[in-house]
A and B are shown apart, each in its own frame.
Chain A
Amino acid sequence: MYLRQLQTDAKAVATIDCLKSFATIAVEKNYCRPTLDNSRKIELKSARHPVIESLMKIGEEYIPNDITIDSDSEQVLIITGPNMSGKSALLRQTALIVLMAQMGAFVPASKAHIGIVDKIFTRVGASDNISQGESTFMVEMLESASILNNISPRSLVLLDEIGRGTSTYDGISIAWSMVEFLHNFRDIHPRTLFATHYHELNELEQMCQRVKNYHVSVKEIDNTIVFLRKLERGGTEHSFGIHVARMAGMPTSIIDRATTILKNLEQVYGNNEIAPSVSPSARKRNRKPSPSVGSAASSGMDSIQLSMFKIDDPVLIKIRDQIKDLDINSLTPLQALNLLSEIKKIAEE
C-alpha cells in the first residue's frame, strides 16, 4: 500500500535529515569523528561543552580540556576546584560527548576515543526538589542510591558535589565512602568523575590505586582569583569560597570577617586535615591534637557542625540552655528584649 511506503520514505528522510544535521554542526563547530571500541577507556583531547560553547558571546573562548578515564588505571578522577571554576561543565561535557558519539554524531573535541558506555549516571548534590516535599539531601541520597544499585562495568558515573546537601562532616564522609565503593565494589570499576570542593577527598589517591586527583586551575593574583578552567593533575588546598563571595559583591566587612574566621579555623584544625577517621593514612600521620575533631570522629561523626567556640564554660552553658529553651515564634519584641537583658546579666556575672 502507498501509506506504508510513504511512512518508509518518511523514515528514510528523517534518518538522512538527522545525519545531515550531524554533518552540518560538525563543520560549523569544528567537531571530530570519534573512534569507538569495546575497551573501557575514554580519551578526549581538547574537549568542549557543546551547549556552553554555542551560547558564549563573540570574543569569549571556551577553554578546551583533555581528559582520560580508564577502568584499569585512571578509574575514578577526583576533580577539585573552587566554585565557578567549571567542574560541573567538565563533567557534563564528558557525558554529552559520550552520548553524542553513541548517537553516531561527531563530537566537540580535537580527538576522541570512546570505549562503549552502556549506562550514564549523573548526580548533582543538593539539586532543588523541594516542591515534592523531600528534603534536598534526601533527594540527593535517593538518587545516589539508585546509581550504586545499578552500576555496570561499562557505566559512566558523574558525581557533582555529592554530599553538599548536609553538614561538612557528613558530606565528606558520604562522598568518601561513595568513592571507596565505586573503586572497590566487586570488579565493576565503572568510569567515574567526582567533582567536589572537599579537598579532603584528595587523600583517597594514596589509598585507592585507581583514584587520581585532578583540579581545575585557578590563579590567585592580589587576593582575587582568575579562573583558568584548565584541568590539571593533582589536588588543591583551598576552595576559594571567600574569593567567590568577594566577586559576587558581598560587603567588604563580611569578607574581611570571613577571612579572619577562616584563618582561625585553619589554625585550630590544621589546614586540609579534616579527613575522616576512617582514613588509615590520616590516622598514621601525626596530627596536632584537636579535641573537637577527635570527639566528633569518635562519636561517629553524625551531624556535627563546626562549632565557633568551645562550650565548657558553665556560664556559656547556662546561656546556651537559655537560648535553646526559647520559642522564638511566641516571643513578643518586648519579651525578646527582656530576655536579652537577662542573658547579658548572666554573662556579666
Chain B
Amino acid sequence: MAIEKKYVETPLMKQYYKIKAVHPDAILLFRVGDFYETFGDDAIETSSILGITLTKRANGSASSVELAGFPHHAVDTYLPKLVRAGKRVAICEQLEDPKTVKGLVKRGVIELVTPGVTLSENLLENKENIYLASVYFGKEKTGAAFLDISTGEFFIAEGDDKYIDKLISSLSPKEVVYQRGEEERFRSIFGNKLYTYRLEEWVFSYSVNFDKLCTQFGTSSLKGFGVEGMYDGITAAGAILYYLEFTEHKQIAHITSISRLDQSEYVWIDKFTIRNLELFSSNGNEKSCFSNIIDRTATPMGGRLLKRWIAMPILDIKRIESRQDVVSEFIANTELSAVVHEQISAIGDIERIASRIASLRVTPRELVQLKNSLYAVDILKAALESTDCHVLHTLSEKIDPLTAVRERIAHDIFPDPQNNQIQKGGVIAEGVDAELDDLRRMALHGKDVLQAIQQRESEATGIPSLKISYNNVFGYYIEVRNTHKDRVPESWIRK
C-alpha cells in the first residue's frame, strides 16, 4: 500500500498497517494502552468528525504521521458519532496483557461496527429497528433479506425490483449489501440515498449460503421456515451471515429463525405514499408523524412491532379480525386491561436482552431487568388465560415465563447490583460461591478479620500484648515486645 511507504515504520506502526490493510475502508481504532488511536487519513477524518485534536507522531527523524486519539472509556461517546457520520469503524484491541508480554502486544480487530451492524447500546433507538439488508439480483427474481442483529429478527423476500424497493422503503435499512458489479442497476432501482457496501460476487452462492443458514439455525433444511425454494432470497440471506463474519460478529446464537415477507400478504404502500401520509416523519419532524401520534405502546419491542405493522398492513380479513377481537376485549374488560397495562409497563426490552446474552455482552442490570420482566410475563400469562378471548388464549399458550432462568438470576445476582460491569464487583449475590464470600468478607470487614487473627495468635502463643500493625515497608506484621520474644513460634520470621 502506498501509505505504508510514506512513513518510517516502527514495530507498532508495522502492526498497525498490517491490520489496517485488512479493513482499508474502515476507520481503525487502534488500542494503545489506555487510548484508542487513529493514524494518517483516519486521524484527519476522525478529528474533524469528533472535534478532537489532530497531532503528529514522529516516527524517526525524517517523517511523521497524523495522529488523533481518545481515552478508551470515551469510546461509548465517540463511537456512535463516527457511525452516525456514516463511517465503518474497526475496533482493534490488545489481545494480551501488556504486563505479561515482552515487546509488542498482540492486537486484533474484535468488532467492525457499521451503520447496519451494531450492538452498541448508545447507537440503538429503543423503538426503532436497525436493519441490515442484503439484495441479490437473480436471473428471474430479486432476492432480499433483512436482519436486525440487535433483536435477532431475520426476514427474507423475493420478487421483482419494485417489490424489493417497496420493502426497502418500508423497513428503511441502515445499510444495504449487494454484489460488486451491480452498482448501476442498484442505483437505478433504489436511488443513491442508501448506505451501501459491496461484497464480492462469490459471496452470493446459493448452495454455500443454504448450508450457512442451516448451520446457523441448527437444521438440515429450511422447510420448517417455509422458505425452501426461495433461491434468490436464500442467496441474499446467506450473504448477510457472511457479512456478520466479515465484521467479526461471531456470537450470533440469537438468530434462531427466518421468516418470509410475502408480497401477497401485505398492503402495498410505496415510498411516495409513506412520505405523503407522513407515516414515520413529517417534514423531518418525527414528533408529529402518524406512527408517533398513535403509539401508546409501553415496551420497546411493542414500539418496534407497531412501526412494522404500520408499514405493512395485512390483507387477510380473518387475521385483521382476530387483532380487532383482542382490541375489543381490552376495551370491554377494563379489569384485564388494567392488569395487562401494569404488567407490560414492567417488562423491559427482553428481545434485545436476549441478543445481548447471545453476544456475551449482557450487563448485570440487564439480567436483573430480565428477571423482573419474567415475573411480569408470568402474571401477564395468567391474566390472558383467565379471559374468554380465544386469540388471547392462543397467545398465552405461546408464553413461557422461564421460571428456572428467573430463579437462577434471583439467586445468583444481587437485586440491585452496585456496578453494571461484572469486573467492578458487587454483582454476584452472597451464598453463590464460598470463596467469593470469603474474599468479600475480608475486603469489607478487614478490621474484624485482623482483630480475629490478633486474638487467635495471642491466645495460641500466650502473648497478651501481641499486636497486628501495618507500615508501608512490610505491609501487615505482628509486633511482639522484647519481653515476650521467647514465646514467638519458630515459623515466624523476624524482621
Contacts and interface: CB of A to CB of B under 8 A. Distances in A.
B162 interface: yes
A16 B276 contact: no
Contacts of A37: 317
B384 A99 contact: no
Secondary structure dominating the interface of A: helix
Interface residues of B, dominant DSSP: helix
Contact of A7 (B254, B310, B377, B396): B254
Q: Which of A6, A7, A54 is most buried by chain B, counting CB atoms within 10 A of its CB?
A: A6
Interface string A1-39: 111111111111111111111111111100001001110
Q: Which 7 residue pairs are nearest across A and B when measured between Cβ atoms?
A: A104-B323, A17-B302, A23-B330, A102-B313, A10-B351, A119-B268, A21-B296
Nearest to A101: B320
Please classify how large the interface on chain B is, using the bins under 10, 10 to 19, 20 to 34, 35 or more.
35 or more
A38 B317 CA distance: 8
A55 B288 contact: yes
Interface of A: 1-28, 33, 36-38, 50-51, 54-55, 92, 95-96, 99-106, 116-124, 127, 143, 146, 150, 160
A106 B323 CA distance: 10
A2 B402 CA distance: 7
A124 to B, nearest CB: 5
Contacts of A36: 317, 320-321
Given A96-B277, A117-B267, A119-B267, A6 B294 contact: no
A10 B294 CA distance: 21
A119 B163 CA distance: 12
A122 B276 contact: yes
B343 to A, nearest CB: 9
Interface string B261-275: 000000111101100
Contacts of B330: 19-20, 22-24
Given A18-B309, A20-B341, A103-B309, 19 more contacts: A4-B256, A5-B400, A7-B354, A11-B398, A13-B344, A13-B347, A16-B326, A16-B392, A17-B305, A18-B305, A19-B323, A19-B326, A19-B327, A51-B289, A96-B277, A105-B294, A120-B267, A123-B272, A160-B276
B144 interface: no
A21 B297 contact: yes
A102 B402 CA distance: 34
B321 A12 contact: no
Contacts of B320: 36, 101-104
Interface in B354-369: 354, 357-358
A38 B320 CA distance: 13
A14 B295 CA distance: 13
B314 A104 contact: yes
A18 B395 CA distance: 13
Contacts of B405: 2, 6
A121 B270 contact: yes
A33 B399 CA distance: 28
B278 interface: yes
Contacts of B7: none
A12 B399 contact: yes
Interface in B70-109: none
Interface string B291-323: 001111111011111100110011101011111
A120 B272 CA distance: 10
B377 A13 contact: yes
